[in-house]
């Protein structure tokens, strides 16, 4: 749990996590340089398409070597096998779109911080049962955005969220300043980055 608490603090300090959809290793490394210049030092590499899993592995591994200052997450991790790939490649933490208890327990065994995705109060209660109080809230905009966060604050005052899904430059500050938001996450942070 110590590793989880330390990562919570690092992510809170970073405030933003850029979702870097990999196309080539070269493009990913360039994007990391540009993101660091713009003050973004936390990145997630998704495992979205089996065809690109090996590329995701390579990107995590190379980014870790070249940019050790980046907080690096393996994302769209829907099972322990993908968690293992991300962990073996050098990911600092895991983000999932949903709450998979097997993945959470695998990460806990490896002392790898993980942030499963939730949207309903029942899922939040299940996460609390697993001793997790920082969760990914996805897709936040589809479920009411800030007004939904306000609703959740009542029954879950000690839960913080990494919010994702529909975040953009226009609404990010509203989310960042909301009391139960730890950080915002999205691919919008890469807009304007061109080689």
Q: Which residues are catalytic?
A: 44, 136
Determine contact, residues 60/112, Cβ cutoff 8 Å: no
Q: Where are the beta strands (DSSP E) in 133-175?
A: 134-137, 160-164
How far is CA 136 from each of CA 111, 141, 181, 184, 195, rounded to the nearest angstrom?
Answer: 18, 13, 10, 9, 31
Tally helices (H) and strands (E) across the chain.
8, 9
20 vs 46: CA distance, rounded Å: 7
Contacts of 142 (CB under 8 A, 6+ apart): 165, 166
């Amino acid at each position: 749990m110590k590793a989880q608490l330390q990562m919570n603090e690092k992510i809170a300090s970073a405030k933003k996590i850029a979702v870097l959809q990999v196309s080539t290793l070269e493009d990913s490394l360039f994007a990391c340089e540009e993101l660091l210049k713009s003050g973004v030092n936390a990145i997630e590499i998704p495992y979205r398409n089996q065809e690109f899993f090996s590329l995701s592995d390579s990107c995590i591994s190379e980014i870790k070597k070249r940019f050790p200052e980046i907080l690096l997450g393996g994302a769209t991790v829907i099972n322990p096998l993908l968690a293992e790939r991300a962990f073996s490649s050098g990911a600092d933490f895991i983000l999932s779109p949903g709450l998979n208890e097997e993945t959470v327990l695998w990460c806990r065994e490896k002392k790898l911080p993980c942030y499963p995705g939730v949207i309903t109060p029942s899922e939040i209660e299940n996460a609390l049962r697993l001793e997790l109080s920082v969760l990914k809230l996805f897709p936040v905009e589809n479920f009411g955005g800030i007004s939904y966060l306000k609703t959740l604050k009542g029954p879950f005052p000690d839960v913080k969220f990494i919010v994702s899904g529909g975040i953009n430059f226009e609404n990010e500050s509203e989310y960042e300043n909301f009391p139960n938001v730890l950080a915002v996450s999205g691919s919008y942070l890469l807009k304007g980055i061109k080689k």
